[in-house]
Amino acid sequence: MTSDFLDAGGGEDYLTVPGLASSRVAFAKYSISGIAGADGYLDVEGCTPYFSMCPGVARTFSLTSEVGLSNGAKIKVYRREGNIDVMGTWGMGFTPWGSTSEIFLTANGGATDSRFGPTLVAGQIGVIADDIVADPAADYRIVSSVPSAGGSYASGTYVALQATPGSTNPQDVDDSRWKTVIAHELGHALSRGWYGNLQLDYSGDVPSNPLCNTSNVTGAGTSHSLQSVEFVSIAVNEGFAHHVANRLMNNWWNPSPIFNYYKEVRFSWQAGGTPPTSPPISLPAAAYARWHKDICSDTAGGTAGVEWDWMNFFWVVNDTGSWSTIQQIGNIFRRACGTYPGQCNSQAVNWTGIDLGSQAELGFLSSQYSQVISTGQSAGVNH
Ligand SMILES: [Zn+2]
């Protein structure tokens, strides 16, 4: 697999080899104001090189969350304070003192600035990646699973995060603030604008097969997972959010985009009792898993689906061949809900509705429509 990340493929650091995606502040991008050449990446210890500084002169040490792409482009997930975009940066002012002329800075080893730190809570974020454009007028806010100090949140469109500000709980620190998780949650916030709300019922059909339920998931939300059989509307909605994350973390023309997952996954070769694979898990975003059809052999037909399959479907439909735009996909779902041109309002969708909606939106004779149908078949979601 190839990845667009100049990092471990986990999207969480800046290395070129896998294995260190769980590194915390190490390898975050840093800069120190007013010091020539003080702009690079922290080392494995989370330290800068030595720099000469004049005592008594105020400086700012900044860390930035950004993902470098192989073509030199950057994807930055940033927050907005007032009308100012803060590019995922954490800054700390300091003033060298005494006779010290040469110092180095160490980051807090427990901090997670190479992902997203607590400072992002209740901040605003925005993204731009080709046809995925956040409404610049919208007020997207990351919230935690606990109320803010005042017991309520300020107004805005919330990007839900199951994280607790300041928590040292490994779940909160290590999983929920992954850039891909935040991008996924942002995908949910954006989909509400593109097609509205689908019926969200996570109770679904729960097969006993551990390859097809959430029994593998520990330390993270267990209401659904990438491989669990769910109601179609949920699988569509979660698959779409995964797709937004994939679009934000990969160039659309990448033939082998990477999806980074933060929950455990039990692969088919682990069916015999081998423990599931622990996160971070890098998976091909576009290669058909056909999990529902080939692995789960689920018989619930038109009422069930798997997020993984729908994620694959969206990449191929949105980013290959006779691709459909995000806006067209949104319209297809509005039509599938029967609410077009209005937004979905808690309706359930199924393949028949998506097929008819695609005909209406793209044209029966169009190559785009043909691609939707063939992709539905290949991904195993056309039921
Ligand atoms: Zn989700």
In this structure, are residues 107 and 124 in contact, taking their beta carbons and an 8 Å threshold? no
Return d(Cα 140, Cα 87) in angstroms, integer: 14
Q: How far does residue 193's CA lie from ligand 1's centre (Å)?
A: 15
Q: How far does residue 236's CA lie from ligand 1's centre (Å)?
A: 10
The pLDDT value recorded for residue 227 is 95
Q: How far does residue 37's CA lie from ligand 1's centre (Å)?
A: 41
Q: How far does residue 226's CA lie from ligand 1's centre (Å)?
A: 10
Q: How far does residue 123's CA lie from ligand 1's centre (Å)?
A: 20
Q: Which residues lie below 8 Å from residue 6, measured CB to CB, with a gap of 6+?
A: 14, 16, 67, 68, 69, 70
Return d(Cα 250, Cα 256) in angstroms, integer: 9
Domain-wise residue ranges, the chain: 1-74+86-115, 170-178+190-379
Return d(Cα 63, Cα 165) in angstroms, integer: 19
Q: How far does residue 348's CA lie from ligand 1's centre (Å)?
A: 17
The pLDDT value recorded for residue 288 is 97
The pLDDT value recorded for residue 371 is 98
Q: How far does residue 104's CA lie from ligand 1's centre (Å)?
A: 40
Q: How far does residue 191's CA lie from ligand 1's centre (Å)?
A: 11
Q: How far does residue 364's CA lie from ligand 1's centre (Å)?
A: 32
The pLDDT value recorded for residue 305 is 93
Q: How far does residue 150's CA lie from ligand 1's centre (Å)?
A: 27
Cα angle 76-321-337, degrees, rounded to a multiple of 5: 80
Instruction: Spell out the per-residue pLDDT of the chain, length 383, in tens.
Output: 223 333 333 344 444 343 333 333 344 567 788 888 888 776 655 567 777 777 778 887 776 654 443 344 444 444 333 444 444 445 566 776 655 445 444 433 333 322 332 222 223 344 445 566 566 555 555 554 444 433 444 555 555 544 444 444 444 444 445 666 767 877 887 788 889 999 988 876 678 889 999 999 886 677 889 999 999 999 999 999 999 888 766 667 778 887 878 789 999 999 888 999 987 787 889 999 999 999 998 766 668 999 999 999 999 999 999 999 888 999 999 999 999 999 999 999 999 999 999 999 999 999 999 999 999 999 999 98
Q: How far does residue 263's CA lie from ligand 1's centre (Å)?
A: 12
The pLDDT value recorded for residue 382 is 94
Q: Residues in the chain, how many?
A: 383
Q: How far does residue 203's CA lie from ligand 1's centre (Å)?
A: 15
In this structure, are residues 101 and 132 in contact, taking their beta carbons and an 8 Å threshold? no
Hey, what CATH topology would domain 170-178+190-379 get? Neutral Protease; domain 2 (1.10.390)
Q: How far does residue 182's CA lie from ligand 1's centre (Å)?
A: 10
pTM comes to: 0.71
Checking 293-302 for CB contacts under 8 A at 24+ apart, the result is 293/380, 293/383, 294/380, 295/211, 295/212, 295/227, 295/268, 296/207, 296/209, 296/211, 296/212, 296/229, 298/205, 298/207, 298/212, 298/229, 300/205, 300/229, 301/383, 302/232, 302/350, 302/351, 302/352, 302/383
Q: How far does residue 239's CA lie from ligand 1's centre (Å)?
A: 8
The pLDDT value recorded for residue 190 is 79
The pLDDT value recorded for residue 141 is 54
In this structure, are residues 65 and 116 in contact, taking their beta carbons and an 8 Å threshold? yes
Q: How far does residue 243's CA lie from ligand 1's centre (Å)?
A: 11
Pairing status of strand 196-198 against strand 344-347: parallel
Q: What single-letter DSSP state applies at residue 377? A: H
Q: How far does residue 105's CA lie from ligand 1's centre (Å)?
A: 37
Q: How far does residue 146's CA lie from ligand 1's centre (Å)?
A: 18
**Cross-strand pairs, 158:** 141
Return d(Cα 188, Cα 159) in angstroms, integer: 7
Q: How far does residue 50's CA lie from ligand 1's centre (Å)?
A: 43
Q: How far does residue 338's CA lie from ligand 1's centre (Å)?
A: 23
Q: How far does residue 234's CA lie from ligand 1's centre (Å)?
A: 9
Beta carbons within 10 angstroms of residue 76's beta carbon: 19
Q: How far does residue 190's CA lie from ligand 1's centre (Å)?
A: 12
Q: How far does residue 99's CA lie from ligand 1's centre (Å)?
A: 53
3-class secondary structure, 4: coil
Q: How far does residue 280's CA lie from ligand 1's centre (Å)?
A: 17
The pLDDT value recorded for residue 45 is 54
In this structure, are residues 305 and 292 in contact, taking their beta carbons and an 8 Å threshold? yes
